[in-house]
Amino acid sequence: VTLHLNPISSVHIHQKPLVFLLNSPLPLDWKIKTERLAPGIRRAFFVSLGSIVQFEKGNFSLSAEVEEKLFPENNEHLLQWAQKKYGAVTSFTELKISRNIYIKVGE
């Protein structure tokens, strides 16, 4: 699955930390493609057990953290867990089948 990350149109370059919880019942290979995200900013990718994260060429991976996690089983518990751990959830998306996911990040 390819995760496309771009800033919202009102933000020229996104310069804030980001945390992604990439959960799947089966292990996945996540490919991260980015545009207009400032280098050197912390971005964390937590993936379900057995999943991996690949970054496109460039230095984005130097400031990114990848960690496997055992997530709560259902989405309601996952959302509650994320809110408790991070204080807020700004976006939640559930997809049954997808090869590409497009996320706009920003204020």
Q: Which pair of tokens denotes residue 94?
A: 């559930």
CA distance 52 to 105: 22
pLDDT (tens digit, 9 = 90+) per residue, 3-29? 999 999 999 999 999 999 999 999 999
3-class secondary-structure state, position 37: strand
Q: What are phi and psi of 62, to 5 degrees?
A: -65, -30
Q: Is the pTM of this model over 0.85?
A: yes
Domain that holds residue 43: 2-105
Assess whether pLDDT exceeds 70 at residue 38: yes
3-class secondary-structure state, position 79: helix
Our count of domains for the chain comes to 1
